[in-house]
Amino acid sequence: MKIAKKIKMVLATVTILLSAGVLTSCESEADIASQNLSVAADAFEINRRIVFYNGITDSYMLTIEGRCSIFSDNEDLQLEVTCEVGDGQFKKHFLGLSDNVTYFVEHLNPTSVSKYHYRVIFRPTTVVPEVEIDLG
C-alpha cells in the first residue's frame, strides 16, 4: 500500500513537471537558457564566485568560490550557499543580509546550455527516498 502511494506521488510529480514545460513553452530563448543555467548551477555543475560587499565601509567581506548553489531566504534575510567540495561532500554557509550588506554572484566559466529545450533533472531517490515493503 505504501509503495502504491509513493508511485502515485512520483507520477503526479512527473505530470506536473511536464505540464509546466508545456505551459512555459512560449518563453524566450534567453529565458530558457537562463533557466537551464540555474538548473546546472543547482546540480553543482557551474563554478561561481559569490562576493559579499559592505556598502558603508566600501569593502569586500567574504568571497566563496566553487561549485555552489544559492538560495535567497528573504524570510530570514540570509543567503544560503551550498557548495560541493568533493565527491558526495558538501558545505553549507548561511550569510546574513542587511541594508548595507549585499552580494553578487559571478559565473566563472562559460557553460553550454540549450536555448531551445528545457533541462529537467529527475532523481527518483529524491522523490521516493525510502521504500519499505511490509509483507505481514
* pLDDT given at position 34: 87
- In a domain, residue 17? The reply is no
Number of domains in the chain: 1
pTM: 0.65
- In a domain, residue 87? The reply is yes
* pLDDT given at position 65: 96
pLDDT per 10-residue tile (average), the chain, 136 residues = 61 61 67 88 93 92 95 93 94 92 91 77 64 74
Segments forming the whole domain that contains residue 89:
28-115
- In a domain, residue 128? The reply is no
- What is the DSSP track for the chain? -HHHHHHHHHHHHHHHHHHHHHHTTTS-HHHHHHHHHHHHHHTT-SEEEEEEEETTTTEEEEEEEEEEEEEEETTTTEEEEEEEEETTEEEEEEEE--SSEEEEEEE-S-----SSS------HHHHS--------
